[in-house]
């Protein structure tokens, strides 16, 4: 299905990533955003509030993030495409209801413009330390999809992709951008509506009395109906059967808890190959591969260039979708390369999965960064140089400090007993 | 309510078309007032002649949180405290729907208190039915922000030291257009209030004082459900139009009931549509 021209403000713009994401949401057919102001994500909410009414969409500033996320799931149940916009502290507040949305299999998108944490942290500065929270933040077993854009253009393009994935797999989709990308101003091209592919909602159109709200299709995703269509839906956060009824007795005969949670996990895991998007460069003959995402990918480009100028065979694997994690790709590369270099603006999150999937076949080098800034390309270069020279297999994750961190922690903490 | 009908010579319950009979028996204890409130609500649905396909019912968590699951409407059983916020999303996603939030005092006034006052301020088109049993019953009888001063609860073993909220007063001062309070004994008046509020655009609140025979009355030695009903009978005073400031409930004091607020104010959706047509005209 093509985008509705009413929602697409075709043109060439010079805007920041937040604004681009607001435009992307509208182009994707978003009809409702409930949000609460939080730096550095506010520009996205402001942009949507400005462009939505003309296209018949609604922005409401809710009383807090708890309300924002609940309203977004409510509106999605009423049959429209929805999104909320937030950053660290607000994201933490939303966690319980994100799990509720995953349990209900309601499609919705969350834009998280990550900032420095923990707590109030560095509100106006960048960070990538919510990556694991995006995956595991709510209690219980479930799977989500997370995308990490690296430019304003990508914030437009991948916001649309996020909506499409949310509708296709009926799960929360997180756009895990960061302050740097959100506040970066660049050229953004918004194409014509007929060049934008839109995934429609998976509405049920079978016989009315046969409808079961949680009976999955072959791809493990069930079909939806809207509130108000006369189906007398019963939707609950309790463990439920295909009818949607809560099943609280669990024993050797009743296995609803297992079958419910298993499918929530499997519908993403088993469709992972279709969901995952990677950008791979020069990995064919590489000794070292830089695995990165978001703003760190753009910084890595310069580091990689410098290393190649020095004759080091280095390739790049950019995770456009971070979750589900590309297990197979990392395992396949681990057999060919000497080492992975993982720059992250945190003290090690995605690197855990890189290490898990390399099965000890390749060294895994983390370049940690405390946030409120990005890596220097030379930090990436120095890690690549180290990785290419290290011939021993080293167990676990090898930490390669940035120049700045070496300066700050030159003598370590001098821990005493 | 329709009279008993026969279907292939079997007697069927007159509310069968309004309830999920495949989920009965319900979980509520003997002597509880929630079932009475649900019966009143089912009668009100019929009485109001509202299109049942266009009514959604949203509950939070707790004993009253289970109501959504027994009523045959589009039912949503949400997270603790978020019923009103979720319902706000439904009304904005499809303004043609009438949303009823049916939940308890802890869910709506404690953990969900912020959503309650803001939905009232915005005048979102929804009916909130708040069953107030003065206690957290689902979790075993802990103190609530509605527990009367000096009443016992498992987490106020020496008597509640905090003054309780006066729910109609909060609703009134936050901007609700319709505010009423009844006890689980006042079935006919409660039904009429619910039917009236179902057809009233804007944010309406009906508080239903309900006996919790299992926890509240047991720990406070107030007898069983029937004794609590007798208490309501002897101590309820109907005062329509009473100033909501005067509606505090103390431990075993008189309970003022009635319809206190019924006024007109543009709903969120009406204001939004008006504003939208104005900005479109300007362009």
- Write out pLDDT tens, residues B70-98: 999 999 999 999 999 999 999 999 999 99
Q: What is the CATH number of the domain that holds B156?
A: 3.40.50.970
Residue of B nearest to A81 (CA): B93
Q: How far is CA B45 from the centre of its chain?
A: 14
**One domain, residues A172 and A307:** no
Angle at A374 (CA atoms; ends A358, A162), nearest 5 degrees: 65
Return the pLDDT at A415: 60
H/E stretch holding A212: none
The answer to whether residue A343 is domain-embedded is yes
As given in the structure block, the two tokens for residue A48 are 């949507």
Q: What is the mean pLDDT of residues B210-225?
A: 96
CA–CA min distance A102, chain B (Å): 12
CA separation for the pair A227, B205 (Å, rounded) = 23
The answer to whether residue B141 is domain-embedded is yes
A78–B276 C-beta distance less than 8 A: no
How many contacts (CB atoms, under 8 Å) link A and B?
A: 133
**One domain, residues A153 and A289:** no
Cβ contacts of A387 within 8 Å, gap of 6 or more: A287, A288, A338, A339, A340, A341, A363, A365
Return the pLDDT at B4: 61
Across the interface, which of A64, A73, A233 has its CB nearest the CB of B114?
A64
B69–A82 C-beta distance less than 8 A: no
Please count the CA atoms within 13 angstroms of the CA of A191 that sit on its side-chain side. Answer: 13
**Chain A CB contacts of B69 below 8 Å:** 234, 236, 245-246
Q: Which residue has the higher pLDDT, B5 or A363?
A: A363
CA separation for the pair A176, A150 (Å, rounded) = 10
Task: Find tokens 């309406």 and name the residue.
Answer: B204
Q: What is the mean pLDDT of residues A332-351?
A: 98
As for how many domains chain A has, the answer is 2
Point out which residues pair with A236 in neighbouring strands: B77
The answer to whether residue B157 is domain-embedded is yes
CA separation for the pair A411, B15 (Å, rounded) = 77
CA–CA min distance B76, chain A (Å): 5
CA separation for the pair B82, A107 (Å, rounded) = 18
Burial (0-12, 13-18, 19+ Cβ within 10 Å), A343:
buried
The answer to whether residue B5 is domain-embedded is no
Return the pLDDT at B6: 63
Chain A CB within 8 Å of residue B235 CB: no
Chain A CB within 8 Å of residue B81 CB: yes
The answer to whether residue A417 is domain-embedded is no
For residue A191, the 8-state DSSP code is -
B72–A230 C-beta distance less than 8 A: no
Interface of A with B (CB under 8 A): 31-32, 34, 53-54, 58, 60, 62-64, 66-68, 70-80, 82, 96-97, 100, 226-238, 245-246
CA–CA min distance B258, chain A (Å): 30
**Chain A CB contacts of B23 below 8 Å:** 245
Percent of chain A with pLDDT over 70: 98
Q: How many CB atoms neighbour CB B116 within 10 A?
A: 29
As given in the structure block, the two tokens for residue B250 are 């103390």
Return the pLDDT at A252: 81
CA–CA min distance A50, chain B (Å): 12
- B104-124, pLDDT tens digit by residue? 999 999 999 999 999 999 999
Q: What is the mean pLDDT of residues B189-194?
A: 98
The answer to whether residue A45 is domain-embedded is yes
CA–CA min distance B135, chain A (Å): 23
CA–CA min distance B190, chain A (Å): 25
Last residue of one domain, picked from the residues A195, A214, A229? A195
Across the interface, which of B74, B92, B97 has its CB nearest the CB of A232?
B74
The answer to whether residue A272 is domain-embedded is no
pLDDT averaged over chain A? Answer: 96
**Chain A CB contacts of B88 below 8 Å:** 34, 60, 62, 67, 70-71, 74
The answer to whether residue A223 is domain-embedded is no
Residue of B nearest to A99 (CA): B79
Confidence of residue A264 (pLDDT cuts 50, 70, 90): very high
What is the domain extent for residue A364? 279-408
Do A220 and A105 meet the contact criterion of CB atoms below 8 Å apart?
A: no
**Chain A CB contacts of B96 below 8 Å:** 228
CA separation for the pair B24, B27 (Å, rounded) = 8
DSSP letters spanning B154-196:
TTBTT---SPPP-HHHHHHHHT-SEEEEEETT-HHHHHHHHHH
CA–CA min distance A84, chain B (Å): 12
**Chain B CB contacts of A73 below 8 Å:** 86, 89
Task: Find tokens 């681009």 and name the residue.
Answer: A20
CA dist A315 to A76, A285, A292, A348, Å?
Answer: 41, 8, 11, 21
Chain A CB within 8 Å of residue B54 CB: yes
Residue of B nearest to A58 (CA): B92
**Which residue, among A281, A284, A279, A273, has the nearest Cα to A325 in the 3D structure?**
A273
Pair type for strands A108-116 and A172-178: parallel
Residue of A nearest to B275 (CA): A53
Q: What is the mean pLDDT of residues A174-186?
A: 98
Across the interface, which of B23, B77, B89 has its CB nearest the CB of A34?
B89
- Helix axes of A295-309 and A377-389: crossing angle, nearest 10 degrees: 60
Confidence of residue B1 (pLDDT cuts 50, 70, 90): very low
Task: Find tokens 């937030």 and name the residue.
Answer: A86
CA separation for the pair A23, A193 (Å, rounded) = 12
B56–A234 C-beta distance less than 8 A: no
**One domain, residues A172 and A24:** yes
Residue A213 backbone dihedrals phi, psi, to 5 degrees: -60, -20
Residue of B nearest to A234 (CA): B75
Chain A CB within 8 Å of residue B253 CB: no
CA–CA min distance B223, chain A (Å): 31
- B155-169, pLDDT tens digit by residue? 999 999 999 999 999
**Chain A CB contacts of B54 below 8 Å:** 228
The answer to whether residue B11 is domain-embedded is no
DSSP letters spanning A299-337:
HHHHHHHHHHHTT--EEEEEESEEES--HHHHHHHHTT-
A60–B92 C-beta distance less than 8 A: yes
Chain A CB within 8 Å of residue B274 CB: no
pLDDT reading at A25 higher than 80: yes
B88–A71 C-beta distance less than 8 A: yes
Q: What is the CATH number of the domain that holds A307?
A: 3.40.50.920
Task: Return the HEC string of A41-97.
Answer: CHHHHHHHHHHCHHHCCEEEECCCHHHHHHHHHHHHHCCCEEEEEECHHHHHHHHHH
Last residue of one domain, picked from the residues A137, A166, A195? A195
CA dist A171 to A25, A98, A163, B18, B47, Å?
Answer: 17, 10, 10, 31, 39
pLDDT reading at A416 higher than 60: no
**Which residue, among A313, A356, A361, has the nearest Cα to A333 in the 3D structure?**
A361
**One domain, residues A185 and A297:** no
Last residue of one domain, picked from the residues A195, A230, A261? A195
The answer to whether residue B53 is domain-embedded is yes
- A268-315, pLDDT tens digit by residue? 999 999 999 999 999 999 999 999 999 999 999 999 999 999 999 999
Q: How far is CA B64 from the centre of its chain?
A: 9
pLDDT reading at A343 higher than 60: yes
Best A34, A49, A67 member to test B by mutation, with max B CBs in 10 Å, is: A67
The answer to whether residue B90 is domain-embedded is yes
A63–B114 C-beta distance less than 8 A: yes
Return the pLDDT at A412: 65
B69–A246 C-beta distance less than 8 A: yes
Pair type for strands A30-35 and A288-292: unpaired
What is the domain extent for residue B144? 19-282
The answer to whether residue B232 is domain-embedded is yes
CA–CA min distance A59, chain B (Å): 9
As for how many domains chain B has, the answer is 1
Cβ contacts of A296 within 8 Å, gap of 6 or more: A128, A343, A344, A345, A374, A375
**One domain, residues A285 and A139:** no
The answer to whether residue B10 is domain-embedded is no
Chain A CB within 8 Å of residue B56 CB: yes
The answer to whether residue A128 is domain-embedded is yes
The answer to whether residue A153 is domain-embedded is yes
Do A122 and A116 meet the contact criterion of CB atoms below 8 Å apart?
A: yes
The answer to whether residue A121 is domain-embedded is yes
pLDDT reading at A212 higher than 80: yes
CA–CA min distance A92, chain B (Å): 16
Q: What is the CATH number of the domain that holds A55?
A: 3.40.50.970
A226–B94 C-beta distance less than 8 A: yes
Q: What is the mean pLDDT of residues A153-161?
A: 98
**Which residue, among A291, A339, A287, has the nearest Cα to A318 in the 3D structure?**
A291
């Amino acid at each position: 299905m093509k985008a509705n021209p009413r929602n697409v403000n075709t043109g060439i713009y010079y805007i920041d990533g937040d604004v681009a994401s607001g435009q992307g949401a509208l182009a994707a057919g978003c009809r409702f955003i409930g949000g609460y102001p939080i730096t550095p994500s506010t520009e996205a909410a402001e942009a949507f509030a400005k462009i939505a009414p003309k296209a018949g969409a609604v922005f409401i500033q809710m009383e807090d993030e708890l309300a924002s996320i609940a309203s977004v799931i409510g509106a999605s149940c009423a049959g429209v495409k929805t999104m909320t916009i937030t950053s660290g502290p607000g994201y933490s507040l939303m966690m319980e209801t994100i799990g509720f949305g995953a349990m209900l299999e309601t499609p919705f998108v969350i834009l998280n413009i990550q900032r420095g944490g923990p707590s109030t942290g560095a509100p106006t500065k960048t960070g990538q330390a919510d990556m694991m929270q995006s995956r595991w933040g709510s209690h219980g077993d479930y799977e989500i999809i997370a995308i990490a854009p690296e430019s304003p253009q990508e914030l437009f393009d991948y916001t649309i992709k996020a909506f499409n994935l949310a509708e296709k797999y009926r799960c929360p989709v997180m756009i895990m951008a960061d302050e740097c990308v959100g506040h970066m101003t660049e050229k953004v091209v918004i194409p014509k509506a007929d060049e934008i592919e839109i995934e429609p909602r998976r509405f049920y159109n079978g016989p009315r009395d046969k409808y079961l709200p949680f009976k999955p299709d072959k791809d493990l995703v069930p079909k939806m109906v809207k509130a108000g269509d006369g189906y007398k839906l019963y939707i609950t956060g309790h463990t439920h059967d295909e009818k949607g009824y809560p099943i609280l007795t669990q024993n050797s005969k009743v296995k609803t808890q297992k079958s419910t949670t298993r499918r929530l996990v499997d519908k993403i895991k088993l469709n992972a190959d279709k969901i995952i998007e990677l950008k791979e460069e020069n990995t064919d003959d590489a000794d070292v591969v830089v695995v990165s995402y978001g703003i760190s990918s753009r910084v890595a480009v310069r580091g990689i260039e410098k290393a190649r100028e020095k004759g080091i065979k280095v390739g790049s694997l950019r995770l456009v979708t971070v979750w589900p994690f590309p297990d197979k790709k990392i395992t396949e590369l681990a057999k060919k390369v000497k080492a992975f270099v993982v720059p992250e603006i945190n003290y090690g999150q995605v690197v855990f999965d890189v290490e898990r999937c390399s099965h000890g076949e390749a060294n895994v080098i983390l370049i940690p960064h405390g946030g409120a800034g990005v890596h220097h390309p030379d930090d990436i270069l120095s890690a690549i140089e180290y990785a290419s020279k290290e011939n021993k297999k080293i167990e676990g994750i090898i930490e390669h400090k940035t120049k700045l961190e070496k300066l700050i922690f030159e003598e370590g903490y001098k821990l005493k007993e | 309510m329709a009279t008993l009908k026969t279907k292939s010579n079997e007697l069927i319950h007159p509310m069968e078309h309004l309830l999920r009979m495949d989920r009965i028996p319900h979980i509520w204890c003997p002597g509880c007032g929630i079932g009475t409130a649900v019966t009143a609500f089912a009668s009100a649905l019929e009485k109001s002649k509202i299109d049942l396909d266009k009514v959604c019912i949203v509950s939070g968590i707790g004993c009253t949180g289970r109501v959504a699951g027994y009523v045959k409407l589009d039912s949503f059983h949400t997270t603790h405290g978020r019923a009103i916020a979720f319902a706000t999303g439904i009304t904005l996603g499809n303004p043609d729907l009438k949303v009823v939030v049916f939940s308890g005092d802890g869910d709506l006034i404690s953990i969900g208190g912020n959503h309650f006052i803001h939905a009232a301020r915005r005048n979102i088109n929804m009916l909130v039915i708040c069953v107030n049993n003065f206690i957290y019953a689902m979790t075993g009888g802990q103190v609530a922000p509605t527990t009367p001063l000096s009443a016992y609860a498992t987490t106020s073993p020496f008597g509640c030291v905090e003054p309780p909220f006066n729910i109609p007063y909060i609703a009134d001062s936050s901007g609700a257009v319709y505010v009423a309070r009844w006890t689980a004994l006042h079935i006919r008046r409660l039904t009429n209030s619910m039917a009236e509020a179902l057809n009233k655009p804007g944010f309406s609140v009906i508080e239903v004082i309900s006996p919790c025979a299992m926890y509240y009355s047991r720990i406070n030695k107030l007898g069983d459900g029937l004794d609590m009903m007798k208490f309501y009978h002897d101590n309820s005073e109907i005062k329509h139009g009473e100033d909501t400031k005067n509606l505090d409930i103390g431990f075993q004091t008189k309970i003022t009931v009635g319809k206190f607020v019924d006024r007109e104010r543009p709903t969120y959706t009406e204001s939004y549509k008006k504003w939208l047509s104005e900005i479109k005209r300007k362009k």
